[in-house]
Structures are given as structure tokens and as C-alpha cells.
Amino acid sequence: MQNQIGRAFAAIVLAGGLAACGHEELPAAEGADADGFSPATVTTQAANAAVPMPDDYLDGEDAARRGLIAETDLVVTREDGRRVWDIPSYDFIEGEAPPTVHPGLWRQASLHSVAALFEVVPGIYQLRGFDLANMTLVRGKAGWIVIDPLTNKQTAEAAWAFAMDHLETLPITAVIFTHSHVDHFGGVHGIADALADDAQIVAPVGFTAEATSENVLAGPAMQRRAGYMYGRNLPRSPRGHVDTGLGKTPAFDGQIGILEPTLIVDHTGQTEMLDGVEFVFQNAAGSEAPAELTAYLPATKAFLGAEIASRTLHNLYTLRGAKVRDALRWSDYIEQARTLFEDAEVFVGQHHWPVWGRERVQRFLTEQRDTYKYIHDQTLRMANNGMTPSEIAEAIELPTSLRRGYHNRDYYGTLRHNSRAVYQFYFGWFDGNPAHLNPLPPEQAGKRYVELAGGPAALVEHAQTAFDAGDYRWAAELLDHLVFSGQADTDARALLASTYDQLGYQAESGPWRDFYLSGAYELRHGMPERVMNMADTAGLLRHIAVPVILDSMAARLNGPKAEDTELSLILSLPELDESHYLWIENAVLHHRASTSDDEADVSLTVSQDLFVDILTQQVSLGDLIGGDGLQVDGSRLKLIKFFSLLDKPDGVFAIVEP
Ligand SMILES: [Zn+2]
């Protein structure tokens, strides 16, 4: 994105127009909209207008709509009226890109704005636009094999019902979870009624543990950041959320669940007959997800690529916050699939639309393979020459041969943040400069920068000059210091919000756009009151191993409060036939399996449902003591003390201000 903006700037300078880039030049009719988002400045308009779009290449409108059977204006709501999915809210996406949206993202968004059932090849169908990911259906002998039942019970239900309106109504004979990300399994309860009694549930090795634990330990902060990444609170509009680059934004108000697999794929080349269809699997653990599989169907020469390749540059690092991914390993898996399944005539991904034709599939996989390897190799090359993450991010650019492919563009991941991810993978957060070893935290630094600038008014003047020159990254840096100093007035906050607007409008990446615009939104309207729908994840939490839950409790223990506390507890869950011994020592919460010899200050016996309710904060344990749902032996005082030492993070915290 930034390289293109760089070129746009160059074009403006060459045309002698930079001086005319002030925001005063805007058409008078375009004021702020209802949510306060500002219009595109002349600089932003010029930057977006100057984005070079490659010639149609490997895809385009034809491919995105190829095989369309039936389309729907899908709106999915829950009984209480909460909207889970709303395709018509994207009706504004048509025609040329408005000046407030990067034309690359607009193009991707246009191709995603349809909810429909498609025939990929005879016997293979896809439901696209019913959720962030696709649901793929393969016709078996006796019924349907469902690949990835979407994120939510509600959207999965709607997608399945729509498919059955247009295809043969048959039971589901197998479900395949391609990987451990929630957009690929969370909706399984929405198709549960159609499952045949002997339906196989197929998943890659490590699936359940990864699927249930990924968001437990760091859940609240990830949820909050995911709200930014997917533009949870943004309006769907040319000045708001347009697309994630991967699909439309996932529903935060649907119900999430999981089923235990009955058949595990643990090695590449594993061949299984599912309802009369031969599947040759690839175990791609540690590619785009820690547990992931792909599959080849020899009969139809279809390569079901899950998410190891997609029609976007994907994330080596996810902005919501996640462990970084191994670019080299990921690239190797793509190469393995390309050679192993070289006869493939169609690539069927779990996001976006397929790639048809053997040669095109080969070229697509080759270019995806090389994009990740290029980022990996060049980041290390530059790092070994002494460059630091910011410098590498500024310098890295794909070679022309890779840049021309739409599927390598920055719609979701970006070159910039992916190169930082590679750096982090090898070197961690520290760039080696001692000035960055122990920097002042934002509030302290902010106060000093404001003083250095000559006070708040002087800093705003500098920032306004930068803004008027279209130098939004610098304006953001200056105003961020002011906001964190605690001395920003309404006008200064509004200027930072407008700065984020422009940065968002110029971003090709959906998540970058949503991050900037979410920041702008919260500067204008404040934080959301609620971040997590913990109750909706209960269907997932029931499958989490208890030790993982206890680890997450340990990560909630308030260290300073727990100083000098020594306490032990036996937790029994009779339904699971599990008993755990927990103790606090040195302000650390430990746990291990309990033995009959254990003696503790207090013993707690609780049903699994109640335990999940406590964890999802639907009830507080303090309120339950003395009730019927649980049994306490020993010191109740110590039990209350124990739970009083645990933080109750709700994920509501400030991001763009102190
Ligand atoms: Zn996905």
C-alpha cells in the first residue's frame, strides 16, 4: 500500500500539485458523515486514484461468479433480534471505488459482496458470502460431505438450508474441519440436525486442543483487538467497514460450538474413503494454522487447499494479536501440495473463489509459495545487513512477477507487517538499538514530547501542517503523543481522528483500514461498553481441557494482590471424573492432577456446566457459595479469598488513548 502511495506522491509532486493538497480543497458538499468520518482529502483522493491496478490476472469477475446457481439477499438474525449476518448492508459496494476506499480493497470487496451457492465442478459446490469463510459441499454416495461449517450456528443453519433448497436433500455423511480457526468449525451445531448417525467428523491432528485453547489464555485482549481488526463497531459504508480482504466481517453475535473428531488426519498421503469419495490428505500443521489439513480428490482432480493458499497475501502475523507463523514452513507446505497434487485441475479454497485450470493452479500455488518465501528471505537478508524492522518494512517490495497477481496483494496481510513478523520470528521484539531497550511508556513520553514541542497548541500546529501536507503518518505520531500526554482538547482529538480516517482510506488491507477507522471512531465516540459475548462461546468452552482453563486462571491471578498468600484448593469435576490440586506460592497459581493423599485448605466440587458458567462470568463463584450447584468442604473464607485474587478482564480497555 505505502509503496503505491509513494508513487502517488511522486506523481503529485511531478504534476506540481503537492502544495494544493490541503484539506481545504475538498468539494464543499462532502462534509463529515453521521458517524463523524471525514471526507477524503485531496491527498487521499490523489493517492487512491494513482494506485496502479494490474491487468486482469488469473481471476476477475468471471471467476468470482462462475458456476453461480442461486443468490440470496441474506440477513441472519437471532430470536432476540441481534443481527448475525447482513449481506444487503454491503449493497453500497458497486461501480468505481469512491475516493475514501483503496481501489484494490474495493475490487476485492466487490467480488465478496454476493451470498450464493456455486457449482465448482460437478459434484463439488460452495456456499460463499454466508460468513467470513466458505462452506464447501462434496457429493458422496449417500449424502453430502461438508467442508468447514462456518463460524456461527446461525449462519451455518442458513447456508445449509439454502443449499438444500437448490441441491438434492440428503443427510450429511461427513464433516471435515480443515483447521483450528473458528471461522472453519464454530458453526457446526447449525448443521447438526442433518448429520447421519454414522457421520465421520474429520480433523487434522491437534485440532481440538488448538481450536479450543488458541483464544483462552490471551482471550480478552485478543477479542478487543479483533474488534479493531474486523471493524466491529464501524458502519458498513464507503467511510466505514468495507471488507476484511478475506470476506465480510465475521458475526460477533452468533453462537460458536465444536464437535469432537472421529477421524484424525496425522500424516501426508493419508488416504480415506468418505462416503465413497477418495480423499488424499496433506497434514499441514504449523502453516496458516497450528492444526491444518488439505485434501486432494483424485476423481474430480480437485485440490481442497483449506487456507494455505488464498486470493490475498495472508497474515504471517495477525493484527488482533497471535503467535507469529513460520513463513518458511508455510511456503514449504504450498510447494509440497503443488508437487504432490500436480494433476489438480481446480483449487478450492475456504475463502474467496476457486482457481480453474491445471496451469493456472500451478502458477497460483507457485506464486503464493514464492510470496511467503520472498518475504522471509528478504527480511533476513536485510536484517543480516543491519536493517531493523521499521526500515525493512519501509523498504520491502515484491518483485514485479509476484506483484502483478491479485492474490499476492495486501488485502488481508501486508508486506509491511509480515516482514515485521519474520523479524519477530527470528529476533523477537528488540531491534538491537539500546535507545529502544527501555523506552518511556506512552504517557510519560507524550508529556515530554508536548513540552518539547512548546505545549499542546504548538504541537497541534505542527500536526496540522503535516496533515495539510498529506503527511498523515507523521501527523498521527505527533497527535498520538498529545493524546497520551492527557492534554489533548476536542479539536486535537478530532484532528487525530481525521488523520486516522485518511490512513484508513488509503489502506489496501481490510484490517489496516479497520484498525485506523476503529481508532478514529473511538476518539470520537468512546469505547464500546461490551467486548465479549462469553455466553455464546459456552459451546466451545465445554470442550476445553480443564488444565488449559486452569492455566488461564493462573494468568488472571493478580500478582501484587497475591503476595504473601499461601493457599491450596482441590477442584473436583465429577462428570469429567477429574480432580485438580491448585495452590498459590510466590504469587503464582500452580495446578496438577490431584491424588487421594492431597490435603488442601478447601475442596470445591462443581458441575461442568456451572464451572463453564463461572468461567464465562455468567455467575460469580462468590454468589454460589452456599447454593446447590456446588459443594464446599473446608474453609469458605479461603475459597472466597482465592477467587478474590483473580482479575475479571472484560476486554474493555482503551487503545488509542491512555
Ligand atoms: Zn479462515
Residue that the C-alpha cell 503527511 belongs to: 471
216/78 same-domain check: yes
Identify the pLDDT of residue 14.
Answer: 28
Mean pLDDT of the residues in the chain: 90
Q: What is the mean pLDDT of residues 550-575?
A: 94
pLDDT at residue 52, rounded to an integer: 81
Asked if residue 7 belongs to a domain, the reply is no
User: 532 C-alpha to center of ligand 1: Å?
Assistant: 20
Predicted local distance difference test score (pLDDT) of residue 623: 73
Averaged pLDDT, 551-571: 95
The cell numbers describing 233, all together, are: 463497531
The CATH number given to whatever domain includes residue 568 is 3.30.1050.10
Whether residues 520 and 557 share a domain: the answer is no
Distance in Å, CA 397 to ligand 1 centroid: 25
Give the residue from 525, 559, 586 where a domain finishes. Answer: 525
Q: Is residue 612 part of a domain?
A: yes
Segment 477-505, tens digit of pLDDT: 999 999 999 999 999 999 999 999 999 99
Q: Is the pLDDT of residue 245 over 80?
A: yes
pLDDT value, residue 259: 94
Predicted pLDDT of residue 18: 28
User: How many angstroms separate the alpha carbon of residue 183 from the centre of ligand 1?
Assistant: 5
Residue 310 forms part of a structural domain: yes
| pLDDT given at position 624 | 75
Domain identity same for 517 and 611: no
Query: Phi/psi of residue 634, each to 5°?
Result: 105, -155
Whether 146 is covered by a domain: the verdict is yes
Q: Check residues 628 and 286 and name the one with the higher pLDDT.
A: 286
- Position 28 scores a pLDDT of 35
Going from the Cα of 16 to the center of ligand 1, the distance in angstroms, rounded, reads 45
How many A from CA of 350 to the centre of ligand 1?
7
DSSP letters along 66-133, please? Answer: TTEEEEE--EEE-TT--EEEEGGGGTT--SSPPTTS-HHHHHHHHHH--EEEEEEETTEEEEESSSSS
Rounded to an integer, the average pLDDT of 135-164 is 97
d(CA 181, ligand 1 centre) in Å:
6
Quote the ligand 1 centre to 592 CA distance (angstroms): 35
Q: Is 653's pLDDT higher than 70?
A: yes
Q: Specify the pLDDT at position 30.
A: 55
Q: Encode 387-409: b = buried (16+ Cβ within 10 Å), e = exposed.
A: bbbeebbeebebeeebbbbbbbb
Mean pLDDT, rounded, for 236-242: 96
CA of 150 to the centre of ligand 1 (A): 9
Q: How remote is the CA of residue 307 from the centroid of ligand 1, in Å? A: 6
CA 52 / ligand 1 centre spacing (Å): 28
Distance from Cα 207 to the centre of ligand 1, integer Å: 14
- Rounded CA-CA distance 257/152 in Å is 8
pTM for the whole structure: 0.92
Mean pLDDT in residue range 431-450: 98
Q: How far is the CA of 180 from the centre of ligand 1 (A)?
A: 9
Residue 159 lies in a domain: yes
pLDDT at 338: 98
Provide the percentage of residues in the chain whose pLDDT is more than 90.
Answer: 77
| CATH code assigned at 247 | 3.60.15.30
With a cut of 60, say whether residue 229 has pLDDT above it. yes
Q: Measured in angstroms, how far is the CA atom of residue 49 from the centroid of ligand 1?
A: 31
pLDDT of residue 622: 67
Q: Which three cell numbers mark 612?
A: 463453564
Tens of pLDDT along 293-312? 999 999 999 999 999 999 99
- Low-confidence winner among 6-10, 378-382, 542-546 (lowest mean pLDDT): 6-10
208 and 136 in a single domain? The answer is yes
HSE-up (13 A, CA, CB side) for residue 462: 20
| Domain end among 380, 402, 425 | 425
Residues 298, 381 within the same domain: yes
Decide: 319 and 353 in contact? Cβ < 8 Å: no
Q: How far is the CA of 598 from the centre of ligand 1 (A)?
A: 45
- pLDDT for 6 equals 33
pLDDT number for residue 29: 41
pLDDT at position 7 over 50: no
What pLDDT is attached to residue 404? 81
Number of domains in the chain: 3
pLDDT, tens digit (0-9, with 9 covering 90-100), for 41-59: 999 999 999 998 766 655 5
Beta bridge partners of 517: none
Q: Are residues 250 and 144 in the same domain?
A: yes
The predicted pLDDT at position 429 comes to 96
Same domain membership, residue 284 and residue 203: yes
pLDDT digit string (tens) for 24-34? Answer: 333 334 566 77
CA of 288 to the centre of ligand 1 (A): 9
CA of 102 to the centre of ligand 1 (A): 23
Q: 554 CA distance to ligand 1 centroid (A)?
A: 30
**Does 67 share its domain with 147?**
yes
Q: Kindly report, residue by residue over 182-196, the tens digit of the pLDDT.
A: 999 999 999 999 999
Q: Tell me if 55 is assigned to some domain.
A: no
- Same domain (yes/no): 501, 567: no
| Residue 117 phi, psi (nearest 5) | -100, 130
Confidence bin at 63 (pLDDT 50/70/90): confident
In this structure, of 258-267, 554-563, 577-586, 624-633, the range with the lowest mean pLDDT score is 624-633
Determine the pLDDT at residue 57: 55
Alpha-carbon distance values, 617 to 256, 546, 583, 623, 647 (Å): 17, 16, 22, 11, 11
Predicted local confidence at residue 251, as pLDDT: 63
Span from the CA of 182 to the centroid of ligand 1 (angstroms): 8
pLDDT attached to residue 333: 98
Residue 1 confidence class, pLDDT cut points 50, 70, 90: very low
C-alpha cell at 619: 455467575
Mean pLDDT of 102-114: 92
pLDDT confidence of residue 250: 67
Of 174, 111, 104, 108, which is closest to residue 139 (Cα–Cα)? 174
Asked if pLDDT for residue 409 goes beyond 50, the answer is yes
The pLDDT score that the predictor gives to residue 26 is: 38
The pLDDT value given to residue 35: 86
Query: Which of 81-85, 234-238, 349-353 has the least mean pLDDT?
Result: 81-85
* 161 CA distance to ligand 1 middle (Å): 22
Predicted confidence at residue 55, as pLDDT, reads: 62
Mean pLDDT value of segment 625-649: 87
For ion ligand 1, residues whose CB falls within 5 Å: 133, 181, 183
pLDDT band at 13 (very low <50, low <70, confident <90, very high): very low
- The mean pLDDT value for 16-21 works out to 30
DSSP state of 321: -
Q: What is the CATH number of the domain that holds 22?
A: 1.25.40.880
- Is residue 40, in this structure, part of any structural domain at all? no
Mean pLDDT score, 578-590:
97
Q: How far is the CA of 256 from the centre of ligand 1 (A)?
A: 15
The Å distance, Cα 432 to ligand 1 centre, comes to 35
Question: Is the pLDDT confidence value at 8 over 50?
Answer: no
pLDDT at 5 over 50: no
Q: Are residues 576 and 502 in the same domain?
A: no
Neighbours of 276 (CB within 10 A): 13
Residues 518 and 603 occupy one common structural domain: no
In a domain, 386, yes or no: yes
CA of 246 from ligand 1 middle (Å) equals 8
Tell me whether residue 89 is exposed, middle or buried, using C-beta atoms within 10 angstroms of its C-beta: 0 to 12, 13 to 18, 19 or more: middle
**348 CA to middle of ligand 1, Å?**
13
Of the two residues 142 and 405, the one the predictor is more confident about is 142
Query: Residue 585's domain spans which residues?
Result: 545-644
Residue 19 has pLDDT above 50, yes or no: no
Q: Residue 319 Cα, ligand 1 centroid: separation in angstroms?
A: 14
User: Is the separation of the CB atoms in 317 and 416 below 8 Å?
Assistant: no
Same domain, 507 and 596: no
121-135, 531-545, 606-620 — which one is most confidently predicted on average?
121-135
Are the C-beta atoms of residues 554 and 590 closer than 8 Å to each other?
yes
